[in-house]
Amino acid sequence: MTPDISACTLPTAERPLRVAEFDTLFAEAVRGVRRESPERLRFELAHEPGYAARAAHLAVREHGCCSFFTFTLTVADGGLTLDATVPPGHEDVLDAIEARAAGR
């Protein structure tokens, strides 16, 4: 049987904790949020090694339960960005993340 890559496998009880981790990263590290396309959201992060490590750790864990995500962490030209990309049909997930990040 092929796993459903459209579903999140994070146990329901752990979801508020994951949301809190994202909220903390947004509040502490995010300097800007830009919608690159309907399927891609870019976070401009404070250029600090600790934030890069936290973003990478969180992205790996999130991909582990929501495999439809693609995360790209880029360090270049004195900047640090995290791109979150989803396949067509999952734009609503990015909408929700964008709204949370905007409320930081």
pLDDT digits (tens, 9 = 90+) for 36-84: 999 999 999 999 999 999 999 999 988 888 888 999 999 999 999 999 9
Please tell me the total count of domains within the chain. Answer: 1
Residue 44 lies in a domain: yes
pTM recorded for the entire structure = 0.85
Query: For residues 29 and 40, is the Cβ–Cβ distance under 8 A?
Result: no
Can you tell me the mean pLDDT for 5-12?
65
Residue 58 lies in a domain: yes
Confidence of residue 13 (pLDDT cuts 50, 70, 90): confident
Residue 67 lies in a domain: yes
Q: How many residues does the chain have?
A: 104
Alpha helices in 5-90 (DSSP H): 15-29, 49-65
Q: Which residue has the tokens 């929700």?
A: 96
Does 4 have pLDDT greater than 60? no
Does 1 have pLDDT greater than 50? no
State whether residue 84 is helix, strand or coil: strand
Residue 11 lies in a domain: no
Residue 1 lies in a domain: no
Could you give the CA distance from residue 75 to residue 62 in angstroms, rounded to a whole number? 20
CATH number at 29 reads 3.30.1360
Residue 65 lies in a domain: yes
Q: Identify the residue with better confidence: 19 or 98.
A: 98
Task: Please give the residue range of the domain that contains residue 65.
Answer: 16-102
Query: For residues 91 and 29, is the Cβ–Cβ distance under 8 A?
Result: no
